[in-house]
Each structure stands twice: as C-alpha cells, then as structure tokens.
Chain A
C-alpha cells in the first residue's frame, strides 16, 4: 500500500525584516515558558488583552469550526475538553496565550488543522478569553506568536 503524500499546508508566515527580531524574542519566550512565568511584558489575561469587537468576530469563527465538538456553550463533551470553566482554566493556568494559539494552529480543528487562519485564530482566542470572564481592553490580541507568548494565562487576578 502506498502512502499518500501529506496534504499541503498553506504557509502563512510572511517573511519580513522583523523576523530576525522575532526570533530573538521567541528565544526569550521559550526561556520564559520553561520557567513557568512569562517574562518581558509580564502581561496576563487580566490586563484587557483583546477587544470586545474582536471577541464577537471570534464567536463566529467558534460557531463555524469549534462548536460542533466543544459545544455551543464551550462546555465540551465526551472526548472534547471544555473551553470554559475550571477544567479549561486549570488546564492552561501558567501557560501563555501563545501556547494556546499554537495548539489551535497545529492541531485544530481535528480534521483540518491550520484551517483557522492567523487572524481568525487570534479572534477565536479573544472569544474564548471573554467566555472565561477575562476582561476586554482597548487593543486587539495580535496574531503573531511572539507577543502572544508574553501574555500569561492565570486563573486568578494578580494582586
């Protein structure tokens, strides 16, 4: 039996002069993740890291790509984990929004990973953050990994 060639994935990474800087930041971010505590910006999901409008856009993406498994209320079911509530926040506590972004980018939806494009992915995460009660703010959640890696997911508001 022959192996079919793996499906071609669209490449979305734009090469710009920023890339070199981005790589430097990524190295920092990886180091930070390893110590469980993002350094640099030191932002958390409690700091208003997305806009209300972005979360509304993300809701549409959620309904199209995610709700069929994770549920209309993000409550999860059977083998699909909930994306809201204690099970979700415990699972992602101390990781970064960038980690969540990468998990979605590389594996979701299960039958078409990569289908949720960069901007859509950021919007989607904004919706998930809003659904978990984290506050909206003035600036949109970016679609680049490096700054996302600087935003910590914390179950409790920093004192």
Chain B
C-alpha cells in the first residue's frame, strides 16, 4: 500500500522555518505553518485552523492512539471535566490538568511527562468561582531562548513559567507571579478581598507580541447573594515583567462612554460582565476583540435599569492602550444568559466583490454576527426588532433586540412550535404539546416567541417558566467555532435542543439582596454553581447536612427539600426531549456569500432514542447529540468529537471523533474514544507525522488527553 504522507507539508514547514529565521539569528515565531499549535485557537485569530494535510479522508479511520496522558495524579482527586486544549511549540505540548490546575509539559512524540508545575492556593483556590483544570496555557518567546508558558490559576494568579523547566520566571511579577486580584473592584471602586474576593478565569490568557491579555470570570449568575459583586475587567500585562499596561472596564465608569446605559447610577451597584472566554487579536491592525458576558444576575436585571453596556457586547479595543474603538451589543439589557460565549473569529474575505476584514461572532442564539472589524459596521444588516416586554416586578425591559438578517441561523435561536416539536409518534407529539402548556410562549415574535422570551415568575401550580431555546446551554458555547482562512468558511457546532424555561422567584429570606433570581415559586431553592465548584484540590469539605460549600456563611441553609414536591420535567416525554431532532449539528457558514453552506447532525443517535420501546416501528434518522464541542479545521477536514457516549451496532460503548469533508459535510471517517470529548481537539506535526490530541472525560471516565496518529508504515520508518 502506498500513501503520500507529509511530503508537501514538511517541505512547506521547512521553507517557512527558513524564511522566518531571518538574518538576525533569532528563532522563528511559533506558527501553525511550522506544524505547531501556539495558541488555544491555533492562531490569534480564533480559527483553530492548521494547514497540515497528512491525515485525510482516505486514512482517518486508520488513526491509532500514539499516547495517553491521564490527569488523575494532578491534584488530590480525579477530575471528570477536562477542558484543556494543549499548545505545541518546538516539539513540546503544554497544557493544564487536574483538580489543582497543574501545568504539564509533554513530549510531543512520546507523550512522556517532561515537567509538572503546581501552585497550591489553599482557601483562595477553594473560593475560586471557576475551578476545574481550565482550558490550557499561553506561550511566549523572545526568539532568543527566553521561552515562557503563561497561565491563570483558579485563585486568579497569573504565572509565568520557564518553558524548559516549568519553574516560575523570577523577573516576572513577584517570583514569577502576578496577583490578578490586586486592582479588582466592586461597587463604586472598592477593592475586593484577595483571599475571598470573587473572581477567576478558566480560559487561557492571550499573548500577542510582548503583551499578555487576561479576562475575568465570576460565579454562575443564576443564584447570587448580591448584585453588587465583582466588576469584570480585561487587563494587559508586559510579558517580560508582569507590569500592568492597561485596563478596560467592562462596566464603564462615570465619564467613560456607555456609563449612561446604567440608569440611576446603577453602574455603581452591579458587577459581573466579565470576559470569560477566549480573546482574539488582529496583530497587524493592533486591535483586540473582547466577547463580554452577562451582568448580574443572569435572569433578573431589576437593579440595573438600562441597556447595560458592555454586557453581552463585542468590544474592539486598541492593543496598545486598551481604549475602546467600537462595540456592538448583541443583547440589550441581558436577562437570558446569552453571554458571548466563544472566541470571535477574524477572516479576510471577498464579499460582493470587495475584500473585507471581518470579525465573525458565533453565539448561543446560533446567529453568526459578522462585522467589519475595523469600523464595527455590520457586514449585513442587523435589525433592531421590537420584542415583547415581561411582567416581573421591578424588571426593566429593552424594547428592541438586534437580529441579524444574514447569514441565516446555523442552529435554532428559538423553537418553532409545533413545527419543531417531537413527532416520532402521534402520541409522543400530543403529550409534548400538552407539556408545552406549562410554559409561556407564543405571540407574533419569530420562533413562536421563544427567542428573547422574558423570564416570568414561574409557579409550580401554574406556568413554570418562559420557554427559550437559543440561550444558556444552546447554540455554540465555550468550545467555539473554527474557520478556514483561505476560503472564508466558518465551521460551528451547535446544540439545538437546550430548552430553557426561564423563571425567577424570590430567593430564601436572607440569601440575596435581589428580590428575584432563578427559581420557581413552590419549588425548593436550588443554588446553581459553575461546573466543578467544590472540586478544587484544597477545598475544605463541608460538614454533613450543611449548605453547599459556596453558599455564603451568613446565609441560612437553603430549605431542606424534604417538604418539597418534586416537579415533573415537562421538557421531556417518556425520557425523550420534546424538541424534534436534530439535537446537535455541525454547520459550514460561507462568509463570502453570507449563507449556511451545509449542515449535518453531529453525533450518533443517543441510545435512549435508538433503543426506545415506543420507537420500534418508526425509522429514526440520525439525530445528532445535545452538547457543546469544539472543532478542528485542517487542510481538508473538519474534526469534532461526540459530546455523548453511545453503544451502537457499529462501535462498542464510547464516543467517536469524526472527520467531515469541508466542502460537503459528508462524514469521511470516525475513530473510537473511551469517553465523550470534553475539550477542543488540536493538531501538530513532528518527525514528519501529524498528530491529533483531544481531551476526553465524563460519566465514569476521568480526564485524559489522547493523541492519535497514523500507523507507521515500512516506507515511513526511515523518516524518523
């Protein structure tokens, strides 16, 4: 058997290496063109694109496991939600793992551990609003041998490590550490407590030239003790010294543009509005793109009348100064937890005969918002559309929301009722429509009124919530989308079945200064926290019968649920979602035309559907799966893993990593993994061979990085 493997790629890489080396003797910049993966999203532009082409449609099914790194030994106990995407620079992988968020360096050929760095933070780590092992690290080199790995700890320290040894760099901050909590405020400018103050970050810092850009994240915003929590911010630091270069306040202060969108001076008594996902940069233009999340709280904004800039806005700032260049608010006065959940994507594309520099923002709504990234002008009209107000006491409602005209949604911004209601059998459909009577929806607004459907005060005895679909866990979440910079096509996975009935209710007495927050009247109060809260390596375990760890000390324990009546879950019938498949899709969106080029279900039909006793008769088309997964884009393929495990006639219990043809969306290969994908895949080449690394975990399977590559053939054995 003959196979052309890596010849062109390697030659290209060598040429790039020679060109980049230049006359100064300086080492070339790390780059995907050299077979490396130097940023979380491959490059600074958020594309997750690598030009490697050894792994193709023809040979994808032959992929073998090259090595595995189990992360159980990092931290005091295993982690079941490993979200990292490693970087690869100079033959070494760098990433995070485990319940302490340790940093590890791994030999790219063999998977051997080269070094491990841990930074125990005790109670400060245990207080972290965002625990888990994080999404990975950033890399910097001066090209002369000073190579650094940068990451943010759960307790919000920025640490610079020597890439060769894993030892903190003495000249950076204080012994390699910058205390990111210093300078963070709440209210009208009060400093937060360094130990207990609420702020952290699970995404990676972004390194561009000699600058590190760091975002911020607070607790989950559904049930919070105060609206006056920590204020989000984005800061830039000098990568050599750790010295602060600039700060961008995501809640503008008096005198700053946008402050007047917080009516009655409410800027001073609200927080959140962090940038918790990946930040992208146009290095040539010197512009930084910040995807900003929701203000406090997620579903009730009665303490913050006004549109609340820069909540749920895409903000472009100057790389040198952090000064705002332009912004666009995707959702006015946010009360649905839309956030902006993933990296903006920068592409240069020809649209209507004109070369445009665009930024494309995927979203939970499954709208791809596309702007001229220099001016902030929408490339296609985004129309302010009147939306219905709600009736929660004290709430303030934005009269309109901006809705893109093109491209068409690549998922479901809302649920079209009854068109998109389950129809496997007439009985299931009838029951689903009956269930839907327990929720508020309808009216003239598109998607049967389930997009921007304002939360209600839900009651267990009546309507349980306002039905929404493209928010919270819908559409594209943190793993984000990818793109091919050569063709201008964006590839995005989207969750199409994340029904969210939004309801608010008064919290238990003494718990919060908000009159309403997520909850249903008559249902036991439920503290809703970020994934992994309470799992940090140094968490002090709570006593039996005590409130969950993150509940503030003065608050009374949420009422024990003994007396409460469990509520039936009306978003499902007989264990099946009331939403018609597909549950999850992968789409290609062609920005040169502003159109969805293709869309296919992603993921096997779940066992519970395939084996359902009521579905023995009807043939069920592939449903795809609910969940959020990242994509990897290579020269010819789009690669993404299944978010759920299945057991099918084609494969034993497990999840598949799938390859799709970029042109058609046809699945061209799939390899078995022992657990669902929980981080975005990446690729690199070393020794003439292309590898794909993917983080898997979930269910009973603890975190593991798995590297795949093609089997070594006789013909290849001489190349190493």
Q: With A72-B523, A91-B645, A156-B611 as known contacts, state yes or no: A111 contacts B542, CB within 8 Å.
A: yes
Contact at B569–A99, with CB atoms within 8 Å?
A: no
Cross-chain contact of A78 among B119, B222, B535, B545 (Cβ < 8 A) = B222
Within 8 A of B (CB), among A6-29: 6-7
Residue B16 at the A interface, CB < 8 A? no
Closest to B652 in A: A36
The tally of residues in A whose CB lies under 8 Å from a CB in B reads 50
Inter-chain CB contacts under 8 Å: number: 163
Kindly provide the distance from the CB of B276 to the nearest chain A CB, expressed in whole angstroms.
14
Contact at A68–B609, with CB atoms within 8 Å?
A: no
Kindly provide the distance from the CB of A35 to the nearest chain B CB, expressed in whole angstroms.
9
Within 8 A of B (CB), among A75-114: 75, 77-79, 82, 84-87, 89-95, 99-100, 102-103, 106-107, 109-113
User: 1/0 per position for A123-140, CB-CB distance to B under 8 A?
Assistant: 000000000110000000
Complex Cα distance A110/B568, Å?
Answer: 25
Contact at B572–A85, with CB atoms within 8 Å?
A: yes
Q: With A78-B528, A155-B611 as known contacts, state yes or no: A111 contacts B653, CB within 8 Å.
A: no
Contact at A106–B222, with CB atoms within 8 Å?
A: no
Across-interface contacts of A74 in B (CB, < 8 A): 566
Residue B121 at the A interface, CB < 8 A? yes
Contact at A115–B541, with CB atoms within 8 Å?
A: yes
Complex Cα distance A102/B702, Å?
Answer: 12
Kindly provide the distance from the CB of B641 to the nearest chain A CB, expressed in whole angstroms.
15
Contact at A86–B572, with CB atoms within 8 Å?
A: yes
Across-interface contacts of B537 in A (CB, < 8 A): 6
Across-interface contacts of A93 in B (CB, < 8 A): 607-608, 611, 645-647, 653
Complex Cα distance A99/B561, Å?
Answer: 27
Among listed B72-80, B183-191, B358-366, B480-488, interface-contacting one: B72-80
Complex Cα distance A93/B699, Å?
Answer: 11
Kindly provide the distance from the CB of A79 to the nearest chain B CB, expressed in whole angstroms.
3
Instruction: Give the one of A4, A78, A110, A113 with max B CB within 10 A.
Output: A110
Complex Cα distance A92/B572, Å?
Answer: 19
Across-interface contacts of B699 in A (CB, < 8 A): 91-92, 95, 103
Complex Cα distance A150/B4, Å?
Answer: 48
Contact at B606–A64, with CB atoms within 8 Å?
A: no
Across-interface contacts of B700 in A (CB, < 8 A): 92, 95, 99-100, 102-103
Q: With A67-B524, A78-B220, A78-B472 as known contacts, state yes or no: A72 contacts B653, CB within 8 Å.
A: no
Contact at B540–A7, with CB atoms within 8 Å?
A: yes
Closest to B576 in A: A86
User: 1/0 per position for B541-566, CB-CB distance to A under 8 A?
Assistant: 11011001110000000101110111
Across-interface contacts of B119 in A (CB, < 8 A): 1
Cross-chain contact of B120 among A2, A107, A115, A157 (Cβ < 8 A) = A2
Complex Cα distance A86/B119, Å?
Answer: 40
Across-interface contacts of A100 in B (CB, < 8 A): 700
Complex Cα distance A77/B120, Å?
Answer: 30
Residue B671 at the A interface, CB < 8 A? no
Across-interface contacts of A107 in B (CB, < 8 A): 77-78, 80, 535
Closest to A71 in B: B526
Contact at B644–A3, with CB atoms within 8 Å?
A: no
Kindly provide the distance from the CB of A106 to the nearest chain B CB, expressed in whole angstroms.
7
Across-interface contacts of B506 in A (CB, < 8 A): none
User: 1/0 per position for B590-615, CB-CB distance to A under 8 A?
Assistant: 00000000000000001111011100
Cross-chain contact of A67 among B561, B609, B644 (Cβ < 8 A) = B561
Residue B401 at the A interface, CB < 8 A? no
Contact at B569–A156, with CB atoms within 8 Å?
A: no
Residue B505 at the A interface, CB < 8 A? no
Complex Cα distance A87/B78, Å?
Answer: 22
Q: With A67-B526, A68-B548, A72-B524 as known contacts, state yes or no: A156 contacts B613, CB within 8 Å.
A: yes
Residue B377 at the A interface, CB < 8 A? no
Contact at A63–B568, with CB atoms within 8 Å?
A: no
Q: With A71-B526, A73-B566 as known contacts, state yes or no: A90 contacts B541, CB within 8 Å.
A: no
Residue B575 at the A interface, CB < 8 A? yes
Residue A118 at the B interface, CB < 8 A? no
Residue B14 at the A interface, CB < 8 A? no
Kindly provide the distance from the CB of A43 to the nearest chain B CB, expressed in whole angstroms.
18
Closest to A8 in B: B541
Contact at B533–A155, with CB atoms within 8 Å?
A: no
Closest to B646 in A: A90
Residue A60 at the B interface, CB < 8 A? yes
Kindly provide the distance from the CB of A29 to the nearest chain B CB, expressed in whole angstroms.
14
Within 8 A of A (CB), among B44-63: none
Complex Cα distance A84/B574, Å?
Answer: 10
Contact at A87–B644, with CB atoms within 8 Å?
A: yes
Residue B407 at the A interface, CB < 8 A? no
Closest to B644 in A: A90
Contact at A4–B541, with CB atoms within 8 Å?
A: no
Complex Cα distance A82/B568, Å?
Answer: 13
Residue A145 at the B interface, CB < 8 A? no
- Residues on A close to B: CB < 8 A? 1-4, 6-7, 36, 60, 63-64, 67-69, 71-75, 77-79, 82, 84-87, 89-95, 99-100, 102-103, 106-107, 109-113, 115, 132-133, 155-157
Contacts A64-B545, A72-B526, A112-B534 given; 8 further ones with Cβ under 8 A? A78-B528, A78-B531, A79-B220, A85-B608, A90-B608, A107-B77, A155-B608, A156-B613
Q: Which 4 pairs, one residue from A and one from B, show the smallest C-beta to C-beta distance?
A: A86-B608, A111-B534, A79-B531, A111-B549
Q: 16 pairs across A/B with beta carbons < 8 Å?
A: A1-B121, A2-B122, A4-B120, A63-B560, A68-B548, A72-B526, A75-B572, A78-B220, A85-B569, A90-B606, A90-B608, A95-B653, A95-B700, A111-B534, A111-B539, A113-B77
